[in-house]
């Protein structure tokens, strides 16, 4: 009972605080001129044009209704603004701004803010907001925390409104003439580039396509995991074709006022038509293009209106003008099918995680900007980073350079990059965590357990590094295995081998200390996931055979599967998974028993050295030990 009261009081306070914050932000946004009262200088249009010609202008905020222009100069910051009214009907205005290299923001005008509206809003506005908020919080509390949360919509809109600088209340349409990126800046995405070359060609020679009567896709959807270079590719298309690039992010559409999103889309396309040929890029399109489902809070209505407007605009423009709409998403399966219909985003450009050669190309590209100390073997780094995205790889190079600086060197070495692979993939080395002596021993045995099981398999990936230096990610040590070649198919035996390797750490602890520790938590998680996939997705169990028992929820993000079978079956799946893991565990334990002597020897070695290479490990593993008792004894 008491708990409940406390909770309610806390919610009450939260509610009042949020409402107050919303009110402050709203009053700021609805009457933006108040923000600049002291610092605004009135100028006429020729002054602005002069400043533009001299390329002195930094940002331009342009009200599409009243033709009022607020602008700032480079080097003066956002505090000093100029206001230009009475702009003549100059259709070349957008050109001027873009040519001057200034950032252009169009403001979609607020509703008529006459005096009575002012009163209505100041008097009833807070009231309405309070009521709505109360209702929203109530609804949120009823819903179990964390399910498809409307709070996301809310905070999104909130953040959008609070975003700083000019154009607080308007659409942020970013136009730039020269994006400074071409296909040369995108490495390893050859197929994606190939299919986008056609778009470039279309933008360069629209008449050629017109003459023959060919219809080009109006839109292309770049689909792939985060960090693979989708945004980069879209910019590169504009850069290659030398056309303006209008970009807007889907998350910015999610706003509080119904109708604003749709107005932004209208405005975006209006500007694009003026500047055609050009690229319109909609990043994170899944935020507005989610599958429409009936019934919902106003957030959904808003999204739906925005989506409808986008569809209307895409159907409406004259394709021969040369507007190509590119969009990016990492959740293609959640998109509304209407977006994928012919004449809209009917072309899909997969932007996948790079393979070995792709990774090497990306590393090479990014290492060009860094001073390096030869010899550098980027192939080795590419080999050690399967599953890394382009952004990860760019990060690895940068972290390597940072490490060189930290160590007071002028050039980055191979060691820097190798270390940064671990930083990016396993978290920073955590020098401050001090393990007790006993803990260090346990971790040594645990890691060598993994390594020995891996090494005893005939064609497993070789162990390349073992360390017991803790990482900030929380891992106390780890054993790195690197495949010789890129692998696309995995056999059942290989999956079983991998499971045994996962079990090797815990098995070693049990064998030597007769005790379990929490250190195996991550291994257990990985092993369970793998075993479950064997049963539900790979058809690798005798019990179920080739029966799909689950669907992958999001192919690009985490491969999480949800079961699609009867509850009774789910129970049996659990049993099979349990059995598979038990068998893997038993096999790992058996291997370690047979190699107990090596386990001791190697664990002591690791304990002393903390980090050992794959070669050191293999040499010791193969070495005849002079003190080893004759065979058969263990």
Cα gap 314→272, rounded to integer Å: 12
**Which entry of Mg ion, ligand ADP, Zn ion, none binds 362, CB below 5 to 8 A by partner kind?**
ligand ADP
Those residues with Cβ within 8 angstroms of residue 100's Cβ, 6 or more apart along the chain or in another chain: 52, 53, 55, 57
Give whichever of 90 and 486 is closer to ligand ADP, judged by the CB atom: 486
**Upper half-sphere CA count for residue 134 (Cβ side, 13 Å):** 8
240, 399, 447, 510: the active-site residue: 447
Give whichever of 256 and 453 is closer to Zn ion, judged by the CB atom: 453
Among 311, 339, 394, 424, binds ligand ADP (CB under 6 A): 394
48-83 per-residue burial string, b: 16 or more CB within 10 A, e: under 16: bbebbeeebbbbbbbbbeebbbbbbbeeeeeeebbb
**Which entry of Mg ion, ligand ADP, Zn ion, none binds 523, CB below 5 to 8 A by partner kind?**
Zn ion
**Which entry of ligand ADP, Mg ion, Zn ion, none binds 232, CB below 5 to 8 A by partner kind?**
ligand ADP
Give whichever of 229 and 261 is closer to ligand ADP, judged by the CB atom: 229
Among 22, 51, 199, 232, binds ligand ADP (CB under 6 A): 232
Contacting ligand ADP within 151-190 (CB under 6 A) = 186-189
Both tokens assigned to 2: 């008491």
| Residue 418 contacts residue 381 (beta carbons within 8 Å) | yes
Cα gap 290→96, rounded to integer Å: 37
Shortest spacing between CB 603 and Zn ion, in angstroms:
13
Closest CA to 303 of 290, 318, 319, 294: 290
Partners of residue 562 on adjacent β-strands: 551
Give whichever of 217 and 358 is closer to ligand ADP, judged by the CB atom: 358
Among 63, 231, 413, 441, binds Mg ion (CB under 5 A): 231
Shortest spacing between CB 224 and Mg ion, in angstroms:
10
**Bond prior to 375 in cis (omega within 30° of 0):** yes
Q: Is 329 in the site for Mg ion (CB under 5 A)?
A: no
Give whichever of 58 and 283 is closer to ligand ADP, judged by the CB atom: 283
Q: Is 226 in the site for ligand ADP (CB under 6 A)?
A: yes
Question: Where does this chain bind Zn ion (CB under 5 A)?
Answer: 505, 523
Concatenated DSSP letters of 334-393 = GB-GGGGSTTSS-EEEE-PPP-HHHHHHHHHHHHTTS-B-S---HHHHHHT-TT--HHHH
Shortest spacing between CB 232 and Mg ion, in angstroms:
8
| Selected range binding Mg ion among 230-238, 308-316, 473-481, 542-550, rule: CB under 5 A | 230-238
Give whichever of 248 and 263 is closer to ligand ADP, judged by the CB atom: 248
Q: Is 390 in the site for ligand ADP (CB under 6 A)?
A: yes
Shortest spacing between CB 183 and ligand ADP, in angstroms:
10
Cα 393 to the chain's mean position, in Å? 14
**Which entry of Mg ion, Zn ion, ligand ADP, none binds 94, CB below 5 to 8 A by partner kind?**
none
Among 230, 440, 471, 498, binds ligand ADP (CB under 6 A): 230
User: What is each CA distance from 151 to 155, 296, 298, 333, 613, in whole angstroms?
Assistant: 6, 13, 12, 23, 48
Shortest spacing between CB 329 and Mg ion, in angstroms:
9
Closest CA to 42 of 62, 63, 71: 71
Binding mask 274-313 for ligand ADP (x = CB under 6 A): ----------------------------------------
Concatenated DSSP letters of 143-182 = SPTTSS-HHHHHHHHHHHHH--SS-SSS---EEES-----
Give whichever of 331 and 446 is closer to Zn ion, judged by the CB atom: 446
**Which entry of Mg ion, ligand ADP, Zn ion, none binds 536, CB below 5 to 8 A by partner kind?**
none
Closest CA to 299 of 172, 158, 124: 158
**Which entry of Mg ion, ligand ADP, Zn ion, none binds 228, CB below 5 to 8 A by partner kind?**
ligand ADP
| Residue 475 contacts residue 484 (beta carbons within 8 Å) | no
Among 156, 229, 244, 460, binds ligand ADP (CB under 6 A): 229
Residue of closest CB approach to ligand ADP: 390
Shortest spacing between CB 252 and ligand ADP, in angstroms:
15
| Selected range binding ligand ADP among 94-102, 170-178, 203-211, 227-235, rule: CB under 6 A | 227-235
| Residue 552 contacts residue 559 (beta carbons within 8 Å) | yes
Q: Is 287 in the site for Mg ion (CB under 5 A)?
A: no
Binding mask 354-373 for ligand ADP (x = CB under 6 A): --------x--x--------
**Which entry of Mg ion, ligand ADP, Zn ion, none binds 187, CB below 5 to 8 A by partner kind?**
ligand ADP
Shortest spacing between CB 313 and ligand ADP, in angstroms:
23
Sign of the torsion angle spanned by Cα atoms 196, 202, 208, 214:
positive
Shortest spacing between CB 328 and Mg ion, in angstroms:
6
Binding residues for Mg ion, how many (CB under 5 A)? 1
Among 72, 94, 105, 228, binds ligand ADP (CB under 6 A): 228
279: helix, coil or strand? strand
Strand arrangement of the beta sheet that strand 81-84 belongs to: 40-43, 81-84, 69-73, 57-63, 103-107
| Selected range binding Mg ion among 72-80, 109-117, 231-239, 340-348, rule: CB under 5 A | 231-239
**The tokens 């309070």 sit on which residue?**
130
Residue of closest CB approach to Mg ion: 231
Shortest spacing between CB 254 and ligand ADP, in angstroms:
19
User: What is each CA distance from 321 to 32, 173, 176, 343, in whole angstroms?
Assistant: 36, 20, 19, 15
> Does 447 participate in catalysis according to the annotation?
yes
53: helix, coil or strand? helix
74: helix, coil or strand? coil
Concatenated DSSP letters of 557-592 = TT--EEE-S-HHHHHHHHHHHHHHHHHHHHHHHHHH
Give whichever of 231 and 481 is closer to Mg ion, judged by the CB atom: 231
359-362: list long-range contacts, CB under 8 Å, 24+ apart: 359/188, 359/385, 359/388, 359/393, 360/188, 361/187, 361/188, 362/187, 362/188, 362/390, 362/393, 362/394
Binding mask 177-216 for Mg ion (x = CB under 5 A): ----------------------------------------
**Which entry of Zn ion, ligand ADP, Mg ion, none binds 314, CB below 5 to 8 A by partner kind?**
none
64: helix, coil or strand? coil
Closest CA to 583 of 518, 514, 493: 493
Q: Which residues are near ligand ADP by CB under 6 A?
A: 186-189, 226-232, 328, 362, 365, 390-391, 394
Q: Which residues are near Mg ion by CB under 5 A?
A: 231
Residues with a known catalytic role = 447
């Amino acid at each position: 009972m008491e708990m409940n009261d406390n909770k309610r009081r806390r919610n009450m306070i939260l509610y009042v605080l949020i409402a107050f914050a919303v009110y402050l932000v709203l009053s700021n946004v609805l009457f933006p001129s108040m923000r600049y009262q002291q610092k605004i200088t009135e100028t006429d249009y020729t002054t602005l044009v002069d400043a533009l010609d001299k390329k002195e202008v930094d940002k331009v905020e342009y009200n599409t209704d009243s033709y009022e222009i607020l602008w700032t100069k480079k080097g003066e910051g956002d505090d000093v603004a100029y206001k230009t009214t009475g702009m003549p009907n100059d259709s070349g205005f957008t050109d001027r701004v873009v040519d001057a290299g200034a950032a252009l923001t169009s403001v979609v005008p607020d509703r008529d803010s006459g005096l009575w509206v002012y009163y209505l809003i100041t008097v009833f506005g807070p009231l309405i907001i309070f009521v709505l908020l109360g209702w929203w919080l109530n609804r949120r509390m009823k819903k179990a925390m964390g399910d498809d949360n409307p709070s996301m919509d809310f905070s999104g809109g909130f953040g959008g409104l609070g975003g700083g600088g000019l154009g607080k209340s308007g659409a942020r349409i970013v136009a730039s003439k020269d994006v400074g990126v071409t296909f040369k800046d995108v490495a390893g995405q050859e197929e994606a580039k190939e299919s986008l070359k056609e778009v470039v060609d279309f933008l360069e020679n629209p008449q050629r396509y017109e003459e023959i009567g060919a219809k080009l896709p109006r839109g292309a959807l770049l689909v792939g995991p985060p960090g693979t270079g989708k945004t980069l590719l879209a910019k590169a298309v504009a850069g290659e074709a030398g056309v303006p690039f209008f970009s807007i992010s889907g998350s910015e559409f999610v706003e509080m006022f119904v109708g604003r999103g749709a107005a932004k889309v209208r405005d975006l396309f209006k500007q694009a038509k003026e500047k055609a040929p050009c690229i319109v890029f909609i990043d994170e399109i899944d935020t507005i293009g989610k599958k429409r489902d009936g019934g919902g809070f106003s957030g959904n209505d808003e999204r739906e209106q925005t989506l409808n407007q986008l569809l209307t605009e895409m159907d409406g423009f004259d394709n021969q003008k040369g507007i190509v709409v590119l969009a990016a998403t990492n959740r293609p399966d959640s998109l509304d099918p209407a977006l994928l219909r012919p004449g809209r985003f009917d072309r899909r450009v997969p932007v996948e995680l790079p393979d070995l050669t792709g990774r090497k190309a990306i590393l090479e590209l990014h290492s060009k900007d860094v001073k390096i100390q030869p010899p550098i073997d980027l192939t080795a780094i590419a080999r050690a980073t399967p599953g890394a995205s382009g952004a990860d790889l760019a990060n690895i190079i940068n972290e390597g350079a940072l490490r060189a600086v930290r160590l007071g060197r002028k050039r980055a070495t191979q060691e820097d990059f190798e270390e940064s692979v671990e930083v990016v993939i396993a978290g920073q080395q955590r020098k401050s965590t001090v393990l007790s002596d006993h803990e260090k021993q346990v971790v040594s045995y645990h890691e060598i357990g993994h390594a020995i099981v891996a090494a005893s398999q005939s064609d497993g990936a070789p162990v390349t590094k073992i360390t017991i230096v803790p990482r900030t990610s929380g891992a106390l040590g780890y054993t790195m295995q690197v495949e010789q070649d890129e692998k696309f198919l995995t056999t059942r035996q290989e999956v079983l081998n991998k499971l045994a390797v996962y079990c090797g750490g815990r098995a070693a602890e049990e064998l030597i200390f007769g005790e379990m520790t929490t250190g195996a938590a991550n291994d257990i998680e990985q092993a369970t996931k793998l075993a479950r996939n064997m049963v539900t997705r790979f058809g690798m169990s005798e019990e179920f055979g080739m029966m799909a028992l689950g669907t992958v929820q999001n192919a690009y993000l985490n491969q999480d599967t949800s079961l699609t079978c009867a509850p009774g079956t789910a129970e049996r799946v659990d049993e099979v998974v349990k059995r598979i893991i038990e068998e893997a565990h038993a096999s790992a334990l058996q291997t370690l028993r047979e190699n107990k002597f090596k386990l001791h020897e190697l664990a002591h070695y690791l304990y002393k050295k903390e980090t050992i290479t794959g070669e050191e490990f293999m040499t010791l593993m193969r070495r005849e030990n002079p003190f080893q008792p004759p065979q058969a004894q263990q």
